[in-house]
């Protein structure tokens, strides 16, 4: 991809005067925060980065404060009052630029926040040979003609394309075309205006990233995509071995001369797994959800703690992809119990046994585990967003 400094200089117009009522937001969609910024700011930053010398943004008169806030800190931004239609807003932007007419202008919809530099480069390159250029994508679905709810025929999709913005033009040509427009119907884009004036419009490759935010589900879907597709968390726990206690480990009761001491059943392995899952969610730790000060959890089986953490993951839109557990002790021997532990853990977490790993190691008789004073466990949990494949 070329360096933006090598891209031909141009001015830009962003159309942002609409109300965006179909988007179902409390404010016009171009000012809604999306991926950490107002939608409008994404487009403005992308155009400036691509080499725009200055940008005219057509806005509704009542949206001046929102527009200023959305573009705060950006240089070479000018606002103009948009019109009742898209064409009127673009015309206002063109007239604002006419005093220092640029050689080329890109006209972009504010509702297309993701603007790849490559699209800008292809549009500008096409303007070296043509007075206008638009990015577009092929139509991959069958296009049917319909009447009264019935299919009456189909269109040849190979002759059709999905038109996007930014659309590029030689400035003088598109200004003259807008000034000459007198059709009774309103155009849906500026390429139609130029063609009506006899101008030729080249078509270049667009981008799926240039999808337009139009309906409430577009914002909901993008909010989901903004969440990381994979999250990881770690857990670590230690419990003392004591006389008179049962030894619960990995969901199993293991015969041993001592057991682990704690408020619940003190299953150090499951506790580490619980903290790993909660850590991946950013949702506290086992003590937050099951405090030792609460008598309800005295002697409780720790399998319910892991099941609770797995339920929280599911409610948050994630599934458990993998659980990796390491038990650190001199005794008892873990090897004979590994498979059954995996089965128990998989059952508590609601996953297939292949998603569970149980390992064991010693500290070569060093430290409290080496002296068989206690057992430690560490775990890693990997969560995968439900809609991510």
Q: Kindly report the CA angle at 358 between 354 and 265, in degrees rounded to 5?
A: 115
Q: Which residue has the higher pLDDT, 275 or 216?
A: 275
If you average pLDDT over residues 250-268, what whole number do you get? Answer: 92
Alpha-carbon distance of 152 to 101, in angstroms, equals: 48
- Domain spans in the chain, listed from the N-terminal domain onward: 4-226, 230-385
If you average pLDDT over residues 374-378, what whole number do you get? Answer: 96
Side-chain half-sphere of 277: how many Cα atoms within 13 Å? 31
Question: How big is the chain by its Cα radius of gyration, in Å?
Answer: 31
Model confidence at 263, pLDDT cuts 50, 70, 90, reads confident
Residue 388: pLDDT over 70: no
Q: Name every residue whose Cβ is closer than 8 Å to that of residue 30 and which is 6 or more positions away in sequence.
A: 16, 18, 20, 38, 39, 40, 70, 110, 111
pLDDT tens for each residue of 285-317: 898 888 888 888 888 899 999 999 999 998 888
| Beta-ladder partners of 14 | 57, 108
Model confidence at 18, pLDDT cuts 50, 70, 90, reads confident
Taking the C-alpha atoms of 17, 21, 27 and 30 in order, what is their torsion angle to the nearest 10 degrees? -50
- 3-class DSSP assignment, residue 324: strand
Contact 67, 31 (CB under 8 A): yes
Please state, in angstroms and as integers, the Cα–Cα distance from residue 277 to each residue in 153, 179, 286, 307, 387, following that order: 54, 62, 10, 10, 19
What integer best gives the mean pLDDT of the chain?
90
Please state, in angstroms and as integers, the Cα–Cα distance from residue 326 to each residue in 285, 339, 360, 362, following that order: 19, 14, 5, 10
Residue 23: pLDDT over 80: no
What pLDDT is attached to residue 1?
39
What pLDDT is attached to residue 3?
46
Q: Which of 45-54, 59-68, 118-127, 297-306 has the lowest mean pLDDT?
A: 297-306
Residue 19: pLDDT over 70: no
What pLDDT is attached to residue 222?
52
327's enclosing H/E stretch is strand 318-328
Query: What CATH architecture does domain 4-226 belong to?
Result: Alpha-Beta Complex (3.90)
Q: Which residue has the higher pLDDT, 387 or 273?
A: 273
pLDDT tens for each residue of 337-375: 999 999 999 999 999 999 999 999 999 999 999 999 999
Alpha-carbon distance of 360 to 250, in angstroms, equals: 12
| % of residues, the chain, pLDDT over 90 | 73
What pLDDT is attached to residue 217?
62
Q: Kindly report the CA angle at 309 between 246 and 314, in degrees rounded to 5?
A: 150
What pLDDT is attached to residue 177?
97
DSSP letter for each residue of 36-76 = TEEHHHHHHHHHHHHTEEEEEEEE-GGGHHHHHHHTTT-SS
**Between β-strands 10-16 and 104-109, what pairing exists: parallel, antiparallel or unpaired?**
parallel
How does DSSP classify residue 35? T
Q: Which pair of tokens denotes residue 337?
A: 């119990």
What pLDDT is attached to residue 330?
92
Please state, in angstroms and as integers, the Cα–Cα distance from residue 132 to each residue in 87, 111, 163, 187, 204, following that order: 16, 21, 13, 16, 11
pLDDT tens for each residue of 144-203: 999 999 999 998 988 999 999 999 999 999 999 999 999 889 999 999 999 999 999 999
Q: Which residue has the higher pLDDT, 294 or 93?
A: 93
What pLDDT is attached to residue 296?
84
Contact 286, 234 (CB under 8 A): no
Alpha-carbon distance of 285 to 309, in angstroms, equals: 10
Model confidence at 40, pLDDT cuts 50, 70, 90, reads very high
Topology of domain 230-385 in CATH is: 60s Ribosomal Protein L30; Chain: A; (3.30.1330)
Alpha-carbon distance of 360 to 328, in angstroms, equals: 6
């Amino acid at each position: 991809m070329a360096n933006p400094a090598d891209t031909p200089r141009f001015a830009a117009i962003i159309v942002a005067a609409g109300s965006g009522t179909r988007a179902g937001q409390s404010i016009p969609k171009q000012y809604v925060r999306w991926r950490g910024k107002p939608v409008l700011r994404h487009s403005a930053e992308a155009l400036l980065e691509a080499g725009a010398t200055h940008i005219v943004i057509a806005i509704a008169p009542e949206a001046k404060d929102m527009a200023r806030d959305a573009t705060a800190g950006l240089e070479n931004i000018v606002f103009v009052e948009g019109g009742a239609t898209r064409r009127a807003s673009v015309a206002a932007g063109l007239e604002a630029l006419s005093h220092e007419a640029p050689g080329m202008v890109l006209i972009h919809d504010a509702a297309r926040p993701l603007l790849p530099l490559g699209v800008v480069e292809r549009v500008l390159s096409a303007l070296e040979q043509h007075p206008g250029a638009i990015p577009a994508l092929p139509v991959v679905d069958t296009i049917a003609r319909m009447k009264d709810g019935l299919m009456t025929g189909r269109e040849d999709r190979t002759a059709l394309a999905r038109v996007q913005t930014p659309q590029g033009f030689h400035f003088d040509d598109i200004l003259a075309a807008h000034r000459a427009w007198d059709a009774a119907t309103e155009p849906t884009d500026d390429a139609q205006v130029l063609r009506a004036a006899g101008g030729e419009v080249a078509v270049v490759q667009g981008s799926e990233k240039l999808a337009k935010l139009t309906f409430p589900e577009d914002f909901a879907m993008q909010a989901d995509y903004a969440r990381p597709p994979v999250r990881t968390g770690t857990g670590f726990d230690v419990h003392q071995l004591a006389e008179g206690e049962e030894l619960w480990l990995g969901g199993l009761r293991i015969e041993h001369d001592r057991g682990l001491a704690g408020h619940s059943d003190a299953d150090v392995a499951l506790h580490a797994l619980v903290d790993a899952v909660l850590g991946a969610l950013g949702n506290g730790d086992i003590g937050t959800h099951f405090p030792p000060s609460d008598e309800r959890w005295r002697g409780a089986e720790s399998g319910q703690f892991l099941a609770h953490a797995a339920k929280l993951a599911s409610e948050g839109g994630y599934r458990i992809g993998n659980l990796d557990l390491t038990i650190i002790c001199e005794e008892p021997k873990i090897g004979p119990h590994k498979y059954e532990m995996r089965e128990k853990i998989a059952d508590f977490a609601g996953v297939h046994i292949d998603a569970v790993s149980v390992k064991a190691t010693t500290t070569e008789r060093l430290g409290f585990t080496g002296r068989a004073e206690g057992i430690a466990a560490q775990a890693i949990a990997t969560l995968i967003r439900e809609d991510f494949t």
